[in-house]
């Protein structure tokens, strides 16, 4: 089997000349690791990761000069978002630049940054980033690490606080960690999978967010596909009991269980109020929707209208997109996202397709933010789909992406690198 790179879709030069350089791969790697960390920003929505993302895209731009099918809906939606923002009396130059960056650069072209990275590297970096984010969240929740930037760590009693990790808020941390669970089966060693799963679960629990319910399908899917599920379950329980006993003695298990149970009860008691608030926000948003059949209110205008009576904005990403850009822009955006999922599934990239699907599920309780971390799974999915479309993947690679439940041999890879 040849280990040469597959030919790009529309090459400007020879294969050798068109390969991404080491600088491009370094920038792409750093961007991939930092994108889930929007707390590392410059006081605006342009984060530290965006510097590397833009550089990686520009350095790799000549390798992908032809349009992918999923790009077309994103680009068609862009003028509608821009016009809606320009007509928004509550908006300004900052909102316009943010709209141009997210809807005109990140979603349509951000995926090109990662086409030179192997699946092995992408999965490893994404999960390493998730573990880092989760551990920072645990550190904040237990009081060992401070809040960052404009974060606000909330003491919820029982010795617990709500940690946001390197995300903006607790819900953002949950949204970032949730889809990563379905990538864990792509790790080759059982102990590595167990350690990663344990770290991600602890990060989810540290957020103390009701949105973690959307992580349950991914966890169940992972356990169903884990051939060593009994060993994994036993090891997780043993680690939990051992940690409790080591730090708090024999009574530590009971104390932790009681404190955490009390915390869950308090959060559950607030569930009805939370649901009522979100239903009210949805009702208000739907009331404005008939006026957004062509153009939207812009990001700032949407926030002003929805929060006028509730001091909050709609916590449904899809409604937020429609109100900001209009119904046609929203439908085009969702079409592009759907095309990525369908293309990955049909092309054999089923693990990555599920990764994007779970992210779409987690987005349902998120505000539509003009920050690039919300788009990361679409960028990864677009990069993988583009490589599947440019040249058929080897059979072993297709097995890794679709039917093979675990990966024990990472030597085969699109870029020909182990």
Domain boundaries, the chain: 22-401
Q: Choose between 333 and 397: higher pLDDT.
A: 333
Q: Choose between 370 and 32: higher pLDDT.
A: 32
Neighbouring residues of 402: CB distance < 8 A, sequence distance ≥ 6? 348, 349, 350, 351
Confidence check: pLDDT of 109 > 80 = yes
Q: Choose between 158 and 144: higher pLDDT.
A: 144
Q: Choose between 235 and 382: higher pLDDT.
A: 382
Confidence check: pLDDT of 396 > 50 = no
Rounded to an integer, the average pLDDT of 232-260 is 60
- The string of pLDDT tens digits covering residues 14-32 is 343 445 678 999 999 999 9
* Residue 239: per-residue pLDDT: 66
Confidence check: pLDDT of 57 > 90 = yes
CA 356/CA 307 separation, integer angstroms: 30
Confidence check: pLDDT of 192 > 70 = yes
Confidence check: pLDDT of 243 > 90 = no
Q: Is 372 helix (H, G, I), strand (E, B) or coil?
A: helix
Confidence check: pLDDT of 268 > 50 = yes
Write down the mean pLDDT value for the chain. Answer: 78
Q: Is 156 helix (H, G, I), strand (E, B) or coil?
A: strand
CA 172/CA 322 separation, integer angstroms: 20
Contact indicator for 384, 344 with CB cutoff of 8 Å: yes
Rounded to an integer, the average pLDDT of 2-25 is 51
**pLDDT class of 152 with cuts at 50, 70, 90:** low
* Residue 6: per-residue pLDDT: 40
Contact indicator for 356, 179 with CB cutoff of 8 Å: yes
Which of 324, 319, 280 is CA-nearest to residue 302?
Answer: 324
Which two three-digit tokens encode residue 85?
């923002």
**Cα angle 67, 56, 412; round to 5:** 80
Name, of 14-28, 286-300, 398-412, the range with top average pLDDT: 286-300
Q: Is 288 helix (H, G, I), strand (E, B) or coil?
A: helix
**pLDDT class of 10 with cuts at 50, 70, 90:** very low
* Residue 2: per-residue pLDDT: 40
**pLDDT class of 393 with cuts at 50, 70, 90:** low
* Residue 305: per-residue pLDDT: 84
Spell out where 89-204 has E strands: 154-157, 160-162
* Residue 97: per-residue pLDDT: 92
* DSSP label at residue 213: G
**pLDDT class of 255 with cuts at 50, 70, 90:** low
* Residue 244: per-residue pLDDT: 56
Q: Is 47 helix (H, G, I), strand (E, B) or coil?
A: strand
Confidence check: pLDDT of 394 > 60 = no
Neighbouring residues of 55: CB distance < 8 A, sequence distance ≥ 6? 27, 31
Range name among 157-161, 202-206, 393-397 with the lowest pLDDT average: 393-397
* Percentage of the chain lying above the pLDDT 70 cut: 74
* DSSP label at residue 374: G
CA 299/CA 285 separation, integer angstroms: 13
Q: Which helix (H) or strand (E) holds 169?
A: none
Spell out where 260-329 has E strands: none
């Amino acid at each position: 089997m040849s280990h040469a790179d597959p030919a790009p879709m529309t090459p400007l030069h020879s294969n050798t000349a068109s390969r991404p350089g080491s600088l491009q791969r370094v920038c792409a790697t750093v961007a991939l690791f930092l994108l889930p960390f929007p707390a590392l920003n410059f006081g605006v929505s342009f984060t530290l990761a965006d510097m590397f993302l833009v550089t990686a895209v520009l350095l790799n731009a000549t390798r992908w000069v032809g349009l992918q099918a999923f790009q077309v809906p994103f680009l068609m939606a862009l003028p509608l978002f821009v016009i809606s923002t320009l007509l928004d009396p509550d908006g300004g130059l900052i909102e316009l630049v943010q709209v141009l960056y997210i809807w005109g650069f990140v979603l349509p072209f951000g995926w090109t940054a990662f086409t030179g990275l192997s699946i092995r590297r992408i999965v490893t970096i994404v999960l390493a980033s998730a573990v880092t984010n989760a551990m920072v969240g645990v550190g904040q929740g237990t009081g060992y690490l401070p809040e960052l930037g404009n974060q606000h760590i909330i003491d919820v009693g029982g010795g617990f606080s709500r940690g946001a990790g390197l995300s903006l808020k607790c819900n953002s941390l949950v949204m970032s960690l949730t889809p990563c669970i379905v990538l864990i089966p792509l790790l080759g060693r059982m102990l590595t999978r167990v350690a990663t799963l344990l770290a991600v679960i602890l990060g989810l629990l540290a957020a103390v967010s009701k949105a973690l319910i959307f992580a349950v399908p991914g966890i169940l899917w992972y356990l169903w596909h884990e051939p060593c599920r009994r060993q994994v379950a036993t090891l997780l329980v043993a680690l939990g009991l051992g940690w409790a006993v080591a730090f708090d003695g024999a009574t530590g298990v009971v104390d932790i269980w009681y404190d955490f149970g009390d915390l869950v009860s308090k959060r559950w008691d607030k569930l009805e109020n939370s649901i009522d608030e979100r239903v009210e926000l949805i009702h208000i948003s739907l009331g404005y929707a008939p006026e957004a059949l062509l153009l939207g209110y812009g990001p700032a205008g949407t926030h002003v209208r929805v929060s006028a009576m509730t001091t909050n904005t709609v916590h449904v990403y899809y409604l937020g997109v429609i109100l900001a850009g209009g119904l046609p822009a929203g439908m085009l955006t969702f079409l592009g996202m759907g095309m990525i999922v369908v293309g990955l599934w049909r092309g054999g990239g089923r693990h990555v397709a599920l990764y994007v699907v779970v992210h779409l599920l987690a987005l349902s309780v998120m505000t539509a933010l003009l920050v690039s971390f919300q788009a990361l799974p679409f960028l990864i999915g677009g990069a993988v789909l583009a490589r599947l479309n440019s040249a058929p993947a080897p059979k072993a690679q297709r097995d890794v992406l679709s039917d093979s439940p675990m990966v024990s041999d990472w030597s085969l890879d699109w870029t020909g690198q182990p």
